Structure 1
Amino acid sequence: MVDETGLSPDDYASMVRAGEVLYARGWRQTFTVRTMVNQWAWLVAEVERGYDDMVEEYASDLSCRDWLAQAWPMLTQPVRTVWHAKIQPLDERFRAATVDDGGKAISGYMGVPPDVWTQVVMRRSAPYRAAARSRSG
């Protein structure tokens, strides 16, 4: 759990404002930082276990990290400091559980240019295992 007790009213307002701004930009609802960090934690754990849903579902699930990246500049420094301690280890775990494929597997489904989160394939996914077998064989 993240300790937000030292945050000021302005800090909380920045989180609310980020959710409202992103909703106005087209996100389906006014999400909170906590909701999206929790979704990111869930997705990272799924990727580590071997995410086996369809690529369209993965693209949708991955959008939580995109939301956090878009919200980040709108948050006050104290909010970023508090949440960085939770997000950074999740990002590291995600990178460890994936390999960079230059965005080939996922970016076409997201409708955005490849970025650090879409340029990966899960190490434990069926497509990755099949490609690894064909390279070794």
Structure 2
Amino acid sequence: MDEQADTSLTEEDYASILTAMHTLTGRYGSGLTLNEALAWWRLVVRHIEEGFDTQWVWEYHHELACRDWLCEAWPLLTARVRTLRQPFLNEMDNRFTAATAPLQGKEAEGRRNGRWWHDRYPRRVIGQPDDELPPSWSPAPEYIEDD
């Protein structure tokens, strides 16, 4: 069987992606596409792996909005789209988990409706060691030199 035929999306698949985009536009600003959200998640994961800049520490949870979008979009997508994209999402989630540590204290109580990625913080950061970090980022992340 032709591999290309196995991975082509149907009209129903594209309609589900469009539905997700339109449904989530109000909550996440401009209409992200599935590919844009996945690319944004990959970029966020890469930045965290390389060392999250403490200059943006208070924007950290905002950076995770692309993963929130994916969480809300996933049930709106056809099973075929989810099956095709799940391996990539799993890879990014695994890399994110490896590059982060669980939050401590009150923030670690999982109050974000099962959105586990908000219950983690970067293991490695760049910036000034005297920059203020959230108390829940304990033990403190490792500071690395910015290239």
TM-score range, shorter chain: 0.7 to 0.9
Q: Following the alignment from structure 2 to structure 1, what is the Cα–Cα distance between the partners of residues 43 and 141?
A: 26
Partner of 1:43: 44
Contact 2:124 2:141 in 1 (8 A): no
Q: Of the candidates 8, 14, 31, which is equivalent to residue 16 of structure 2?
A: 14
Q: Of the candidates 123, 137, 140, which is equivalent to residue 131 of structure 1?
A: 140
Q: Report which of the two has the higher share of helix.
A: 1
Contact 1:102 1:114 in 2 (8 A): no
Describe the SS at the equivalent of 1:131: coil
1:94 aligned partner, one-letter code: F
Describe the SS at the equivalent of 1:7: coil
Q: Of the candidates 60, 83, 86, which is equivalent to residue 84 of structure 1?
A: 86
Alpha-carbon spacing, 1:86–1:114, altered in 2? closer, same or farther (3 Å): closer
2:15 aligned partner, one-letter code: A
Which consecutive residues of structure 1, in runs of 5 or more, have no partner in the other structure? Answer: none
User: CA-to-partner distance for each residue in 1:62-93, whole Å, 9 max, x for gaps?
Assistant: 10000000000000000001111211100000
Q: Matched residues, percent identical?
A: 34
Per the TM alignment, residue 30 of structure 1 is displaced from its structure 2 partner at its CA by: 1.2
Q: TM-score, normalised to structure 2's length?
A: 0.74
Partner of 1:59: 61
Structure showing greater Rg: 2
Describe the SS at the equivalent of 2:124: coil
Describe the SS at the equivalent of 1:28: coil
Query: Aligned pairs, how many?
Result: 127
Contact 1:44 1:93 in 2 (8 A): yes
Q: Following the alignment from structure 2 to structure 1, what is the Cα–Cα distance between the partners of residues 115 and 104?
A: 9
Q: Following the alignment from structure 2 to structure 1, what is the Cα–Cα distance between the partners of residues 112 and 138?
A: 26
Q: Following the alignment from structure 2 to structure 1, what is the Cα–Cα distance between the partners of residues 22 and 101?
A: 34
Contact 1:104 1:119 in 2 (8 A): no
Q: Does 1:120 align with 2:102?
A: no
Describe the SS at the equivalent of 2:121: strand
Task: Kindly report the root-mean-square deviation, in angstroms, between the aligned alpha carbons of the 2 structures.
Answer: 2.9
Alpha-carbon spacing, 1:129–1:104, altered in 2? closer, same or farther (3 Å): closer
Contact 1:105 1:121 in 2 (8 A): no
Partner of 1:97: 99
1:48 aligned partner, one-letter code: E
